[in-house]
Amino acid sequence: MCKIIVLTPVKNEDWILEQFLTVTSMFADHIIIADQNSTDNSRQICSRFPKVHLIENGNQDFCEDDRQILLIETARKLYPGQKRILLSLDADEIFSANSLHFRHTWNRIRNLPLGTSLYFERSDLLCDPEKCIRGRNHNLYFPLGYVDDGMAHQPSIIHSRRIPHNPDGINEYIDEIKIVHFIFSRMKVRHAKIRYYTVLENIKKTNRFYIRRYAYNRANVDNNMHPERIEATPSEWLKGWTERHINLQKFHEPDFSWQDFEVLKLFKNYGYRRFYLDDIWDFDWESCTRAAENKGIDVSSAPISKPNSLMVSLLKSVDALYILSRKLRFKNVIS
């Protein structure tokens, strides 16, 4: 029998993990959680769900590529000799409630040929959950599922496709089943993630500094929320979960997240001045350091000095020039 296996990496996700596992257990045959040294209640929550198989991701560093391979290979080892549908979901990505009703679609998915990639609409709920950013067109769907044929996964270092890709396989777009993304439900944490990814790309040398500044500029990210795609959230996406008393409305948000503390550790390892060119300095790193020390987290106690006003001005000029160059390139493309 074909098994639906959900693959989820976890690091300190107890703010939403119980809701995620409650919902996902209604759809999946098995859920594999790769926990990366969580210090919250994530592991205890996992222990309460019989479909969850918890594995260790003991890597101390960011390892998007390694954790994807770990999850995929674990699914293949645990459930060999049977057809597998791999669904790669983060803990803040939850099936819409009306997805329960499309049994014919789930059956169709189970009968797709090996090597098929499954694309889903993943819509972002805004701070006001009555509104969301839709991705209706198929070119905005995300490859989150795979009818596993054993193809080796070839991930990139950061922002990687999560599942294998068979160049000879087909792409199947699943229109009925929706995934709701709670990316904007905790804005402080969202901004912390942006800073964290900026620093990671600096260390891993995956993008030049002016591209990082553009891609991870908080104002750009917050203001470039695709207003043309903002719509009212369909009531059927969340109503069924509310009726089942699954809380998807209010979440605890700390002043400083684990991503902030990870950045402080990287400051200690690499020196904070290495990151002067990155757009991460509109933040109170001194208060964050005190919060980390109060938690017993090993970070440098040395004062952190922000870039001076001259450097800030020069970097703003670089930002303006890069934005202008993008506009000119876009203009040349369409002309």
Which stretches within the chain are classed as H helix? 17-24, 42-46, 64-78, 103-110, 187-204, 209-215, 218-223, 235-243, 258-270, 285-294, 309-334
Residue 219: predicted pLDDT:
74
Q: Which two tokens stand for residue 286?
A: 């001194």
What's the DSSP call for residue 91? T
Cα-Cα end-to-end distance for the chain = 54
Orientation of helix 285-294 relative to helix 258-270, angle to 10°: 100
Q: What's the mean per-residue pLDDT of the chain?
A: 94
- Report the amino acid identity of residue 56: E
How far apart (Å, rounded) are the C-alpha atoms in residues 138 and 6? 22
Output the CA–CA distances (angstroms, integers) from residue 215 to 212, 221, 227, in the order listed: 5, 8, 18
Residue 257: predicted pLDDT:
97
Residue 111: predicted pLDDT:
97
Which residue in 225, 245, 215 sits closest to 184, CA to CA? 225
**pLDDT tens series, the chain, 335 aa:** 899 999 999 999 999 999 999 999 999 999 999 999 999 999 999 999 999 999 999 999 999 999 999 999 999 999 999 899 999 999 999 999 999 999 999 999 999 999 999 999 999 999 889 999 999 999 999 999 999 999 999 999 999 999 999 999 999 999 999 999 999 999 999 999 999 999 999 999 999 999 999 999 877 666 556 788 999 999 999 999 999 999 998 899 999 999 999 999 999 999 999 999 999 999 999 999 999 999 999 998 889 999 999 999 999 999 999 999 988 887 776 65
Q: 221 — alpha (psi -120 to 50), left (phi > 0) or beta?
A: alpha
Residue 177: predicted pLDDT:
98
Q: Which two tokens stand for residue 273?
A: 């001045």
How far apart (Å, rounded) are the C-alpha atoms in residues 13 and 54? 14
∠ at Cα 297 (292, 298), nearest 5°?
A: 115
How far apart (Å, rounded) are the C-alpha atoms in residues 230 and 57? 37
Please report the DSSP string for 22-44 in residue order. HHHTTT-SEEEEEE-S--SSHHH
Name the β-bridge partners of 93: 181
Residue 218: predicted pLDDT:
79
Residue 327: predicted pLDDT:
85
* Domain ranges in the chain with CATH number 3.90.550.10: 3-181
What lies within 8 Å, CB to CB, of 254 at 6+ separation is 188, 189
What's the DSSP call for residue 233? P
3-181 to CATH, choices 3.40.980.10, 2.130.10.10, 3.90.550.10, 3.40.50.2000:
3.90.550.10
Half-sphere exposure in the Cβ direction for 194 (13 Å, CA): 25
Which residue in 152, 166, 154 sits closest to 116, CA to CA? 166
Residue 335: predicted pLDDT:
59
Q: Which position has the token pair 């400083």?
A: 256
What lies within 8 Å, CB to CB, of 42 at 6+ separation is 10, 11, 12, 13, 14, 17, 35
Query: What pLDDT, in 10s, does the model give residues 5-47?
Result: 999 999 999 999 999 999 999 999 999 999 999 999 999 999 9
289, 301 Cβ separation under 8 angstroms:
yes
Query: What pLDDT, in 10s, does the model give residues 121-142?
Result: 999 999 889 999 999 999 999 9
Residue 160: predicted pLDDT:
96
309 backbone dihedrals φ, ψ, rounded to 5°: -65, -35
Q: Return the number of other C-beta atoms located less than 10 Å from residue 235's C-beta.
A: 12
Q: Return the number of other C-beta atoms located less than 10 Å from residue 213's C-beta.
A: 21
